[in-house]
Structure 1
Amino acid sequence: MQIFDLLQYLLVLQITYTVADRASFTVNQIPEQVTKTKGENVSIYCTYPIFAQNSLVDVYWRKGGQKQFIDATADRRMSIITSEQGSAEFHILGVSFGDSGIYYCSVRDWTRKFSQGNGTNVIVHVPPAPLKITEVNAPSAALTCTTAAFFPKDYKLIWYKNEFKITSGMHTTRMQNEEGLYLVSSSLNVTESGYVYTCQVFHESMKEPASESYRIILESRDKFILILTGAFAACGVIILALLLLIRRFRVDKTEVVAESDENLSRYLENQIIQGTEDTLMYACVDLAASQKNARRVQKTHETEYAGIKIKEEARNMETKRATYSY
């Protein structure tokens, strides 16, 4: 293609290689249209008549829709070459989608008169690759194939399960972003695991279609149920552990209270002070500890006296002594 453009350029240069009239002159551009894929290089050629005062001719390049001439020093990807033989060249390295547009070659002669070429339409194609497949679990199991931003809008998308083409269960949408590029998203409902699903996209910017594959290891619904079951099981274990701790705490507390009551009984028995047969006996008991175990708050220790029942034999002896005294 570049060799053909160069031959056209040489042909136009031969035709215009004449001394121009000061009244008017014509500027020619080739090619009229150039289509490139993002990342490729663009070359535009401009020819104009040869003047006697050719050294005073100035050549400028401008993009349609912009008032300012292109400053090649501001963008290293761009370069402008002007020869002394009535021709000029404009180059863009690694063209991007933003470089799309119509470029004009403008020539100003020594009389400061401008003449402009018909323009060259630069079309930049952007491929939809790379593709990306994601698995979606809600509300139902599905795979989503998303393209990269591409141009132009025409495309063809096909789903495969292993090597078999899928003809149903798909939902595809296309949208355009602010830059003018297109995005496609295609969702596919899946009901079986163990298969390799492939998303394939055809586009004129690519010699071969773009493809992306994804293997379903486990059905999404089974995954969801498994995760949900695991969560419930974990909660059940935690609740059971808490119940066991609470029960253990209550049992320990009951045992402590029973032991405290038993110790209190023994303590009372040990505190009994036995006297003589004819003497009323008292026992001095400190009940502060038992009051604490019985959940009664006792700020200070108090001493209480408990009367001990006199044995029946002691009473009888006391009665006899009273009788003899008379």
Structure 2
Amino acid sequence: MNKIHELVVILYCTRVWSVALANPDVIQSPPLQIVAQGAQAKLRCLFPASDPQVKGAVSWYKTAPEEHMSTNHPIPLGGRFSLAFPRTFLSEGDGSLIISNVSWEDAGVYYCKVLMWEQEEKRGNGTHLLVYTRPSQPEIFLKVGSEEEVTLTCRTSGFYPSDIHMSWNSTDIPLPEPRPVQIWRSQDGISQADLVLLLPAGFPLQQLQIRCIVRHLSLATPLQATYSHDFPRYKAIAYQLVEYLNILKFCLLFGLTVGILLTVIKRCKSK
């Protein structure tokens, strides 16, 4: 687990545990779950097992990340949302919620409420569901400016949440300070990020070997892209061919000049 992941876990756990238990008889654990988009999430809700003859019901409510924790929306069961034990939860003492094919819109705080016949409704302390999507493999783009300035852009996209860390690294040459990371967020919540590095004119590009490093909550290890400034093979062959043609042209001009001089010398001698 990387440092970003650990920090998010600590912050969310602190927030969730700071809220007192509504009733200790309903236990939701762990207080934070982090799942990937498209995966399945199981939000646990445990309570003392009861007589199966006793009537009761389990309901779930959700608070969206941008809303106050007192704002609850009921979760209708069916489709992607179902109970782990829909028929026997009273005897099992388990009202856990199963969410299939999780989307980033499912993120929020979920509360489990248990109501037994002729008993007071009891509520758990909440489970924070954090949904993420992994960033794409970063790509590096090169652009040469009018004043021979070189711009390198490292780009990644498709990640959620939008908090991301990007950096340039080179073990050979000290690099200029890059510009701040630019993040664009689409209407569906998916983000794209660019990290731009401007290399001034005269920068030793031929010695440049550089890496773009991407860190995100969803990544156990950072993603990397490598760039080295070098001629592609076909360009190198073309460059050598031009050199050979220039040498041949020089030889032809030299031979033509020598032939003309010899002809002039012979005519001068004959006179």
The bucket for the TM-score relative to the shorter chain is 0.5 to 0.7
Structure 1 residue 96: deviation in Å? 3.6
Structure 1 residue 119: deviation in Å? 0.9
Could you say if the C-alpha distance between residues 35 and 128 of structure 1 is closer, same or farther in structure 2, counting changes exceeding 3 Å? Answer: same
Distance in structure 1 (CA, Å) of the matches to 2:24 and 2:120? 10
Q: Which has the higher contact order (CA 8 A, sep 6+)?
A: 2
Q: Secondary structure at the match of 1:98?
A: helix
| Structure 2 unpaired stretches of 5+ | 1-22, 65-71, 232-271
Partner of 1:68: 74
Please say which structure displays the higher CA radius of gyration.
1
Which deviations, in whole Å up to 9, do the C-alpha atoms of 1:265-297 show, x marking residues without a partner?
xxxxxxxxxxxxxxxxxxxxxxxxxxxxxxxxx
Partner of 1:141: 150
Tell me if structure 1 keeps the 8 A contact 2:168–2:210.
no
Partner of 2:176: 168
| Structure 1 unpaired stretches of 5+ | 1-23, 219-326
Which deviations, in whole Å up to 9, do the C-alpha atoms of 1:206-259 show, x marking residues without a partner?
2221011234446xxxxxxxxxxxxxxxxxxxxxxxxxxxxxxxxxxxxxxxxx
Tell me if structure 1 keeps the 8 A contact 2:24–2:124.
no
Partner of 1:213: 226
Distance in structure 1 (CA, Å) of the matches to 2:40 and 2:173? 37
- RMSD (Å), alpha carbons: 3.4
Partner of 1:319: none
1:202 aligns with 2:247: no
Distance in structure 2 (CA, Å) of the matches to 1:151 and 1:176? 12
Could you say if the C-alpha distance between residues 132 and 98 of structure 1 is closer, same or farther in structure 2, counting changes exceeding 3 Å? Answer: farther
Distance in structure 2 (CA, Å) of the matches to 1:214 and 1:195? 8
Structure 1 residue 101: deviation in Å? 0.9
Could you say if the C-alpha distance between residues 154 and 188 of structure 1 is closer, same or farther in structure 2, counting changes exceeding 3 Å? Answer: closer
One-letter amino acid of the counterpart of residue 178, structure 2: M
Distance in structure 2 (CA, Å) of the matches to 1:159 and 1:101? 36
Distance in structure 2 (CA, Å) of the matches to 1:25 and 1:143? 56
Distance in structure 2 (CA, Å) of the matches to 1:208 and 1:25? 38
Partner of 1:79: 82
Could you say if the C-alpha distance between residues 197 and 50 of structure 1 is closer, same or farther in structure 2, counting changes exceeding 3 Å? Answer: closer
One-letter amino acid of the counterpart of residue 219, structure 2: M
Could you say if the C-alpha distance between residues 142 and 43 of structure 1 is closer, same or farther in structure 2, counting changes exceeding 3 Å? Answer: same
Tell me if structure 1 keeps the 8 A contact 2:172–2:208.
no
Aligned length: 191
Which deviations, in whole Å up to 9, do the C-alpha atoms of 1:179-227 show, x marking residues without a partner?
6666432112344247543211233432221011234446xxxxxxxxx
| 1:285-324 equivalence runs, <5 A | none
Could you say if the C-alpha distance between residues 119 and 206 of structure 1 is closer, same or farther in structure 2, counting changes exceeding 3 Å? Answer: same
Distance in structure 1 (CA, Å) of the matches to 2:174 and 2:192? 21
TM normalised by structure 1 equals: 0.49
Q: Secondary structure at the match of 2:92?
A: coil
Tell me if structure 2 keeps the 8 A contact 1:62–1:70.
no
Distance in structure 2 (CA, Å) of the matches to 1:181 and 1:39? 14
Which deviations, in whole Å up to 9, do the C-alpha atoms of 1:63-98 show, x marking residues without a partner?
22452323332x2xx432222222122223454432
Could you say if the C-alpha distance between residues 209 and 153 of structure 1 is closer, same or farther in structure 2, counting changes exceeding 3 Å? Answer: same
| 1:1-326 equivalence runs, <5 A | 26-52=25-51, 54-65=53-64, 67-73=73-79, 75=80, 78-82=81-85, 83=89, 84-111=91-118, 114-138=121-145, 140-148=149-157, 149-151=159-161, 153=163, 155-160=165-170, 163-164=171-172, 166-175=174-183, 177=185, 183-190=192-199, 191=203, 192-193=205-206, 195-217=208-230
Q: Secondary structure at the match of 2:218?
A: coil
Tell me if structure 2 keeps the 8 A contact 1:25–1:49.
no
Could you say if the C-alpha distance between residues 71 and 164 of structure 1 is closer, same or farther in structure 2, counting changes exceeding 3 Å? Answer: farther
